[in-house]
Structure 1
Amino acid sequence: MERVSYPQAHSVSHIVAEHFRSHAELAGIDADLPDAATIEKIIDAAFWTSLRHEEGRAPTISLAYLPPTAAGTALLVERPLGLDPTTLTKLAPAVERPGIHLGIWKNGDGLSVWGATRSIPPLCFVLEVIEPGLLVIKHRRADPDGKFANVVVLEGDQVKIVDPQGTLDSKCPDFVATLLGIGDSESVLLPLALSMRAHKHGGSLLVVPHESPWRKSIVSVPYAVAPPFSKLGDLVRNGGEHDETFKNAIDAIAGLTAVDGAVVLSDRWDVLAFGAKIGRSQSGPFVEDVLVREPIRGHTPVKMPASELGGTRHLSAAQFIHEQRDALALVASQDGRFTVFGWSPRAQLVHAYRVEALLL
């Protein structure tokens, strides 16, 4: 019996193909790019794979479209395997660790799995199965150690196409621009955000200028850090962003965000406090409205009362940025949502950027 096609695979395939074509042309890269029909086949196979189970577990896999000759030192199977849900589900346990991709390439009139690799070139088409019904199309950036750039998020019948232009036009914080693949690679906030999101407790992180009067907007600091914890800052200052100690420092600080209250981190990456309770200063005004943005095609920014943003963390973060306008606030929700708060001098308003689609 022929499998029913996943409708969103067809609807988004031409948009994705054009994205990769235009980016390759802009970057001057001679990349092995899939056409729309190929993209549709890969999405369809991945979607139906995501709904299956192997030994009681849903598959989490990454598929990369490239020939074996472009994959460096790779594991090659003797005979190509079919690109179908049965095969992909059986292979999933072997490649579920981060950084391992199943290689997909042309085989006659169809597509097949030729093996697995950790090495893929810039702008290589990658589709990652995150959980049942949730797929992310992405590509590797120029930095081989950096996070991949997300292109499209498909979740059931929902399609979110990443569209950076409107967000960039809003003069967004540098960190948000980094998530969109613009500007210098951010070596600290990105892994912190990923680690905050990974612990699933929810949390808040305030990044403040090292000499700012941030305490004016804090009601209490049950866990002040004295002297400031400088392990992460020392590693950054000494160029140690790529060793295991850096990851441990990131995870340690992200873990502090799970404590009720906020972590206060200086822009020199030193921990100043955690568990900090945010409140309005005596002379400061209440935050009333916030402009909510999402870097997704078709999204219209919405101005809403700060009280309707979500829970206490979101309202507190908005209040803090309303007073501490040189600061940045990152808020992770238990349900996976992630919001970056920053002040917009042009709009004279707190902007809330919902960026979870960029962190998958």
Structure 2
Amino acid sequence: MLSEPTYLAARMVAPALAVHFAQHWAAAARLSAVPLAPPPPAALIEAVIDVAFWASLRREEGRPPRISLALLAPEDAVQPLRFAHQLRLTPQALIKLAPAVEQPGIHLGIGEDDKGLYVWGTATHIPPVCFVLEVVEPGLLVAKHRRADGFGKFVNVAVLRGDQVRVVDEENLGLADCPVLRESLPAITLSSSATAGSGPTVEVLLELARAMRAHGRGGLVLLVPTGSDAWQESIVQPLSYPVAPAYDEVATLLAEPDHTQRDWQDTL
């Protein structure tokens, strides 16, 4: 039995998230042969968000928890690490487990039985469209899931910061919906299309920008011509971290035949 949640934002956003995951699960089930974890109902989503939120406000040895929760059964994960005994999903349990799962890509597996929610272990490989809740910092949670098409790692669905809830607008996620942004990009060939029917076009500049945004500390990409150092006259000298010889990994990646797999994008 699920306890009564007390985090109001969880109750506000849970129905919309349940609809999102149900719709995406149905679409992924039609297009993919990969086994999928069942879409969670609103009550389950609300309960997980509630516990994670209150856990985010606590500290263990002076440090707030940074954890990722995946709502799925052990059978739905690939080579999961299972605890000998299930742990009830409580804020106290999460802050105790947090130091062991802070590394990116490690998720605490969350299940449900007649007693409520519990932590069954950890997983590093989860199926597409599996509900994932990341505790980023105190009071800041992000609901997301792996992309069903394999293009990119995760797609954010909702961001909760205290009593503020922001559901990501799926209708305006693509570059095609941002003509001003696209026109602002340099008119150079830094994109590559995979073979016909194998997947979406990879926009290298956007993938680089996405990777830079991931750490949340800002950054700048400067595109310069080859065979000339004249551009250095516009840069404050000396450069703090010059790279020599020129880094050509992007060109190497573009020469590969398949640019739709996640490993290719991870290399960027």
TM-score range, shorter chain: 0.7 to 0.9
1:15 — aligned with what? 16
2:221 — aligned with what? 205
Kindly indicate whether the alpha-carbon contact (under 8 Å) linking 2:5 and 2:47 is maintained by their aligned counterparts in 1.
no
Q: Distance in 1 between matches of 2:143 and 2:213?
A: 22
Residues 224-239 of structure 1: matches in 2 within 5 Å? 229-239=246-256
Q: Cα gap change, 1:144/1:52 in structure 2, threshold over 3 Å: closer, same or farther? A: farther
Kindly indicate whether the alpha-carbon contact (under 8 Å) linking 2:212 and 2:219 is maintained by their aligned counterparts in 1.
no
Q: Distance in 2 between matches of 1:199 and 1:12?
A: 24
1:161 — aligned with what? 167
1:62 — aligned with what? 68
C-alpha displacement of 1:32: 1.3
C-alpha displacement of 1:31: 3.7
Two-structure CA RMSD over aligned residues (Å) = 3.7
Which of 121, 132, 136 is the aligned partner of 1:126? 132
Kindly indicate whether the alpha-carbon contact (under 8 Å) linking 2:28 and 2:148 is maintained by their aligned counterparts in 1.
no
C-alpha displacement of 1:7: 0.5
**1:332-359 CA deviation, whole Å, 9 max, x = no partner?**
xxxxxxxxxxxxxxxxxxxxxxxxxxxx
Q: Cα gap change, 1:15/1:57 in structure 2, threshold over 3 Å: closer, same or farther? A: same
Q: Cα gap change, 1:49/1:191 in structure 2, threshold over 3 Å: closer, same or farther? A: farther
Kindly indicate whether the alpha-carbon contact (under 8 Å) linking 1:146 and 1:185 is maintained by their aligned counterparts in 2.
no
Q: Cα gap change, 1:186/1:38 in structure 2, threshold over 3 Å: closer, same or farther? A: farther
1:220 aligns with 2:221: no
1:77 aligns with 2:79: no
C-alpha displacement of 1:205: 2.2
Residues 1-360 of structure 1: matches in 2 within 5 Å? 5-28=6-29, 31-142=37-148, 146-166=152-172, 168=174, 169-171=177-179, 173=182, 183-184=200-201, 186=203, 189-195=206-212, 198=215, 200=217, 202-206=218-222, 220-221=234-235, 229-239=246-256, 242=263
Q: Distance in 1 between matches of 2:101 and 2:39?
A: 23
2:186 — aligned with what? none
C-alpha displacement of 1:111: 1.1
| TM-score, normalization by structure 2 | 0.73
RCO comparison, higher one (Cα < 8 Å, 6+)? 2
**1:291-315 CA deviation, whole Å, 9 max, x = no partner?**
xxxxxxxxxxxxxxxxxxxxxxxxx
**Aligned pairs, number:** 234
Q: Distance in 2 between matches of 1:106 and 1:88?
A: 16
More strand by share: 1
Q: Distance in 2 between matches of 1:86 and 1:148?
A: 27
C-alpha displacement of 1:55: 1.1
Q: Distance in 2 between matches of 1:151 and 1:118?
A: 20
**Aligned AA (1:50):** S
Structure 2 unaligned blocks of 5 or more: 31-35, 184-198
SS in 2 for 1:55: coil
Kindly indicate whether the alpha-carbon contact (under 8 Å) linking 2:25 and 2:38 is maintained by their aligned counterparts in 1.
no
Q: Distance in 2 between matches of 1:83 and 1:5?
A: 15
Structure 1 unaligned blocks of 5 or more: 175-181, 251-360
Q: Cα gap change, 1:118/1:226 in structure 2, threshold over 3 Å: closer, same or farther? A: closer
2:196 — aligned with what? none
Q: Distance in 2 between matches of 1:118 and 1:85?
A: 22
Q: Distance in 2 between matches of 1:203 and 1:81?
A: 41
**1:87-128 CA deviation, whole Å, 9 max, x = no partner?**
011000111100000000112141111111101001000000
Q: Distance in 2 between matches of 1:14 and 1:158?
A: 16
Q: Cα gap change, 1:118/1:187 in structure 2, threshold over 3 Å: closer, same or farther? A: farther
Q: Cα gap change, 1:4/1:146 in structure 2, threshold over 3 Å: closer, same or farther? A: closer
| TM-score, normalization by structure 1 | 0.56
Q: Distance in 1 between matches of 2:47 and 2:150?
A: 27
Q: Distance in 2 between matches of 1:229 and 1:199?
A: 26
**Aligned AA (1:10):** R
Q: Cα gap change, 1:164/1:61 in structure 2, threshold over 3 Å: closer, same or farther? A: same
C-alpha displacement of 1:164: 2.6
Identity %: 44
SS in 1 for 2:119: strand
